Amino acid sequence: MTRVIPVLLSGGSGTRLWPVSRKSFPKQFAPLVGEQSLFQASACRLSGPRYAEPLVLTNADFRFIVTEQLAEVGITPAAILIEPAGRNTAPAILAAALHLAESDPEALLLVAPSDHVVPDAEAFGRAVDRGLPLAREGRIVTFGIEPDRPETGYGYLELDDDPRDGPAPLRRFVEKPDADTARAMLAEGRFLWNAGIFLFTARTMIEAFRAHAPEFLEPVQAALAQARQDLGFLRLAPEPWNGLPDLSIDYAVMEKAGNLSVVRFAEHWSDLGGWDAVWREAQVDAPAWRGVIADDRSTAIDCDNVLLRSDDEDMQIVGIGLKDMMVVATGDAVLVAGMDRAQDVRQAVTALKAKGARQAESFLRDHRPWGWFETLVMGERFQVKRIVVHPGASLSLQSHVHRSEHWIVVSGTAKVTVDDKVSLVTENQSIYVPLGAVHRMENPGKVPMVLIEVQTGVYLGEDDIIRYEDAYART
């Protein structure tokens, strides 16, 4: 049996779920629902007998997050393609089709965003099975979600036939409607939500681009032809890629193609496109009393239809007399908004970027391929960080022009190189790294190593690093 190849799109920024989702660590990598991240849940959902190993498209900033999160759930990707710049879904999907067509033009691709919630994986698998004969015949299959409310935050698919009668031809795509139009479409019954999930053969998609968006073909082919291997990643060439239009697959191909069919999916689905969706998702299995969703660090007093969420163990939220509100807190930012303004949260990111606030795009915790660090205290000419290094991982061999560092090991053992001297620094021990010294920190143990770093100097930015050797091929 020919297995379907999942293509996971994981380069988005998820601004509508700020402050938990930010450019440096967007929503697909966060555990917004359950213990797994949305990306991990998507990879697990598209694994098993009917699926081959996934192909992942992401950007350079997320490449090690992708590999780490896949390893945590025991999934080995067939390939990870690195996009030099975000150009929306059209070039990403074409790159996947061209890459897989090199070995098998009839390869079956299932393209899916990596930030959706689909609790019943087997039901979705059966929907994929219903679309396979159509895909093999040269049709592009899209999956439509049976709506349960007049949603204005989704695009819609209009079908020629009743969607309950099986796969049906697509009449047209419908942009996000206003409330009255959404209610009318829900009542009519021929409209499904557009999930943005597609099934097709590599050959079919390449021919669709050749017919409807030929301007993409040559640059994407060149980006693949000039791509280079970088550790376990395939980096697409930036020069041809960066000149591509920024266009979604819907606008580039789907709205022009005449060979589209829709498979209806009537089970639960959410794109988790805003905090109102997170609020609804929390009530799927256990309806909330008076519509109040509050985590362990939140307290609701006399509230109705409220989401209270704190992602910081030291941040307690108390809501009193709130109605139709959402309050979401992290260690460095708090969002307070009406539930009906969930789609406007991205405006907060725009406003913060305009005033130069770090919180617009970055967290206090910064993820690295070797682990992570977070700033605990920062002042004039000093900074204190907590650093966690994974077992067997190492930082680059580096030096700094403007700062010196003191390292105090809290747990585990650090193998530290300072110029020509190599030392093992254990719990409660410390070491000094003078300004300009060539140094490296490694974790030779089998448990995470934690240390406190105290930086002093005239400039403490992350760009004050000169790398000499790096296991992760960073420049």
Mean pLDDT split into 10-residue runs, the chain, 475 residues: 92 90 94 93 96 96 94 96 95 98 97 96 96 96 94 90 76 91 92 96 98 98 96 94 95 94 94 94 82 95 97 95 97 96 95 96 91 93 97 96 97 97 96 97 96 97 93 79
Is 3.90.550.10 the CATH number for 5-265? yes
CATH code, residues 365-469? 2.60.120.10
**pTM greater than 0.85:** yes
Q: CB pairs under 8 A, 24+ apart, for 371-377?
A: 371/443, 371/448, 373/453, 376/452
pLDDT score of 11? 85
pLDDT score of 287? 72
- Nearest to residue 414, comparing CAs of 396, 400, 426? 426
pLDDT score of 475? 64
Tokens 């254990």 identify what position?
Answer: 426
Q: Read off the DSSP letter of residue 168.
A: E
- Nearest to residue 329, comparing CAs of 314, 315, 346? 315
Annotate 402-413 with b (16+ C-beta within 10 A) or e (fewer). Answer: ebebebbbeebb
Residue 408 CB contacts under 8 Å (≥ 6 apart), including other chains: 428, 429, 430, 451, 452, 453, 454
pLDDT score of 384? 97
Tokens of 148: 């349960």
C-beta of residue 218 within 8 angstroms of C-beta of residue 181: no
Rounded to an integer, what distance in angstroms lies between the CA atom of residue 430 and that of residue 445?
A: 17
- Identify the sign of the CA torsion 44, 50, 52, 57: negative
Q: Crossing angle for the helix pair 38-45 and 121-136, nearest 10 degrees?
A: 60
Q: Where are the domains of the chain?
A: 5-265, 286-344, 365-469
